[in-house]
Structure 1
């Protein structure tokens, strides 16, 4: 009896670990524009936005998303109720601890905006740029780290004509809730809290692009430029109790193409659940069939019936693992 209980515990632990490994850290729930790249393990893969694989594409911890011109993405982070919008010409790394409950983003260049539901316990989400770090427990906020042209320049050519100078614009802004902001160079010692409608903005020389840069933390109202940029870009995803499902949320009616995409995603998630359920049932059945032969094996050794049970149980377990592998490849 003790052996059977131990066997059951081991079965559930193994199956639970395998199923947990199937869940991606995040998925793409919206894409528009032209193309983007997904860098995983240093290997970039380019995707056209119209590719049907894009909707629901799994994002793993450590992946880097790079958007091209006029390309906009939104990802839904699975372990926590969070969505991140990645604007055009942006390079953004997704990461988290092993549990996924302490998530973070790394903005190398560009613009991002995140909406995080109220987190509990030790859960957290933060975004870091080369100039600023913003951490939240529940809010609508974003960061910018972009190169812009100064309207006038103090530098001049040999002929005395003024030449445009590029500067790096760093922002941390909050549309709703509150955000703890700190300079990236001294995140543990200095910080300020900004609320809805507030931001921190600082400019540095273009030599600081992508480089850790000290900045001052002075609060001011969110600029019209920020509001205008994100105007009309409401979050499309709606995190459900079952975080493996997302639906498009928009005041505008869905087009026929969008309806087809939503139906494809629902079918993909439904097939994923069926495969996981079938794999679990096969694994459990195989283990039970093989386990039922254990008492006879203790008494009589490897009899024909014992071998039959073990063989049939092995077939069921092998089939379950094959189904899991198939699901891993196709989900």
Structure 2
């Protein structure tokens, strides 16, 4: 792809031709077209001229395109998002390997980004929602002098400028308000939505000049505004403000080094004095290979549609005048694929009964399988189940006691060698297991006492209620106990209703069991008051 783009970039710049006039020399033509008279031997070889001092009037001299490329323009070394190159009124997608020449305009959409490299090694980075025209980009090979003038129509451009040779070298970024001229520095120039120009300097210094002064090859010895490293300035129609210190770099230390969701969400403490923040995701800390960029209103950056890999986040605070501050850098790894499936059942926060539960989730094309974990805690330190290759979207758990549980699932795919490449686990899902309590068994009556027994689970506590009606509007007795049985006495003969309510060890209060009806015997007693027993040992019931 790079070779194809390189070929396309070369093909769109045909060689120049010059019709020889009386008095023309290769020395003079090299100076006129290549701005370096010492390149005349290159023209001699390209045109097979036998005598460079005698050019025949009316003959044609060709200036090769590759020779022109060596002396002017800039190479496109990186593009992300939607970026357009406009040349002679026609637009085309900007691609790596193309050359941007005098008069060309580069336009980036909201999240677009382009990195250009000039012939002297300087690097120009065009951020999202910007427009930059290459007014002039020339380089004299033998004298190592550069002459670069960039016109910023909107947005922002950042430059790392190679130290310029004295004696005519220049690097200018012009705006409708003013121009920034440098000899070698790291700086940025912005046009704000309000129409102001700002400049911020990280290294070296920048001299702000009016556009007329910027048109000259050498900057004036005095005049304009000098902006030193660590300073910024805002320019409006009323002129340039005094330089101010750049806002400090944001603190990105709390951003996790591993990001596991396709939506990258990076939060950090606010910077005092910041009105907004510019954020970049880049393959490198120098921001030559930015994959996403945007301005955010608060200390929280969000990007999506980014491939898994290693990145750096670079963030600058922007003050109320639009001056961008010092950058902060945080390296991280994005591993969000294959994405976890969507869980289906049980419902998050739901309640299930029966002792076992079937965990269900969606399945996707290309998945090699799924890993499922079940635990007693949301950090999955107390694992009850850790299943690899969990089947096709469902898994039945073993018998579980009542309590609160957490489960999660992740997708894995098989690489070319058959190894499993697992993605991140999805968010933990919580459910409560509440096994149905069995109603108490029929009470056993021994004289005046009744013994009740019921099933339960370890750690539960119980409330036993006796009522005269199934709605328990009239409660005769109740008892609280940690045992699974209770003995009651003092009930007169007649019909009653019984129910039990369990409280689990985690404090969850269960529903009452279904009311059970039972009968208390009217026991026949002897003269001494003792119950009379039948031959089988049971109490004698008075009709």
Contact 1:185-1:214 at 8 Å conserved across structures: no
Structure 1 residue 103: Cα displacement: 0.5
- Which residue of 229, 246, 253 corresponds with 2:278? 229
User: CA 1:132/1:227 → structure 2, altered by over 3 Å: closer, same or farther?
Assistant: farther
Give a deviation string over 1:149-203, Cα, whole Å, max 9, x none. xxxxxxxxxxxxxxxxxx323201101111111244776784111111101114x
CA distance in 2 between counterparts of 1:46 and 1:193 reads 37
Mapped contact 2:75–2:98 kept (Cα < 8 A) = yes
Shift of 1:123: 1.6
Counterpart of 1:182 (choices 198, 209, 231) is 209
Match for residue 44 of structure 2?
11
Secondary structure of 2:195's counterpart equals strand
Q: Describe the shift of the 1:62–1:89 C-alpha distance in structure 2 as closer, same or farther (beyond 3 A).
A: same
After superposition, the Cα gap between the structure-2 partners of 1:216 and 1:129, relative to the gap in structure 1 and judged at 3 Å, is same
Select the structure that is richer in helix.
1
Cα offset for 1:227? 10
Partner of 1:108: 153
Contact 1:113 1:142 in 2 (8 A): yes
Kindly state the Cα deviation for residue 216 of structure 1 after the two structures are TM-superposed.
2.5
How many aligned residue pairs are there?
202
**1:32: Cα distance to partner?**
1.9
- Of structures 1 and 2, the one with the larger relative CO (CA 8 A, separation 6+) is 1
Alignment of 1:296-307 (within 5 A): none
2:67 counterpart SS class:
helix
* Residue of structure 2 equivalent to 1:285: none
Quick check: 2:74–2:99 contact (8 Å CA) kept in 1? yes
Distance 1:136 1:170, change over 3 A: same
Q: 2:225 aligns with which of 192, 195, 206?
A: 192
Structure-2 separation of matches of 1:186 and 1:96:
16
5+ unaligned residues in a row in structure 1: which ranges?
Answer: 1-5, 48-53, 148-166, 205-212, 239-249, 256-331
Q: Is 1:27 the counterpart of 2:75 in the alignment?
A: yes
Q: C-alpha offsets along residues 228-252 of structure 1, whole Å, 9 cap, x if unaligned?
A: 52666643559xxxxxxxxxxx887
1:235 to 1:91, Cα distance in 2 relative to 1, 3 A: same
Shift of 1:223: 3.6
2:162 alignment partner in structure 1: 117
CA distance in 2, matches of 1:171, 1:94: 20
* Preserved CA contact (<8 Å) 1:183 1:215: no
Structure 1 residue aligned with 2:188: 142
> Is the contact made by 2:125 and 2:288 (CA closer than 8 Å) also made in structure 1?
no
Aligned mates of 1:98, 1:76 — CA distance in 2: 12
The secondary structure found in structure 2 opposite 1:11 is helix
Alignment of 1:1-331 (within 5 A): 11-12=44-45, 14=47, 17-18=63-64, 19-23=66-70, 25-33=73-81, 35-47=82-94, 54-78=95-119, 80-96=120-136, 99=139, 101-121=146-166, 122-147=168-193, 167-184=194-211, 190-202=223-235, 204=236, 213-223=237-247, 228-229=277-278, 234-237=285-288
**1:226 and 1:109, CA in 2 relative to 1: closer, same or farther beyond 3 A?**
farther
Deviation sequence 1:33-52 (CA, Å, 0-9, x none): 2x1111111222235xxxxx
Q: Is the 8 A contact 1:113 1:143 kept in 2?
A: yes
Equivalent position SS for 1:119: coil
Q: How far apart, in 2, do the equivalents of 1:58 and 1:254 lie?
A: 33
CA distance in 1, matches of 2:162, 2:138: 20
- Kept after mapping to 1: 8 A contact 2:101/2:137: no
Q: TM-score, normalised by structure 2?
A: 0.33
Give structure 2 stretches of 5+ with no counterpart: 1-25, 27-39, 49-61, 141-145, 215-219, 249-273, 290-310, 313-330, 335-543
| Cα deviation 1:45-66 (Å, max 9, x = unaligned) | 235xxxxxx1222111111000
Q: Which has the larger radius of gyration?
A: 2
Distance in 2 (CA, whole Å) between partners of 1:232 and 1:226 is: 20
Q: CA RMSD in A?
A: 3.5
The residue number in structure 2 matching 1:283 is none
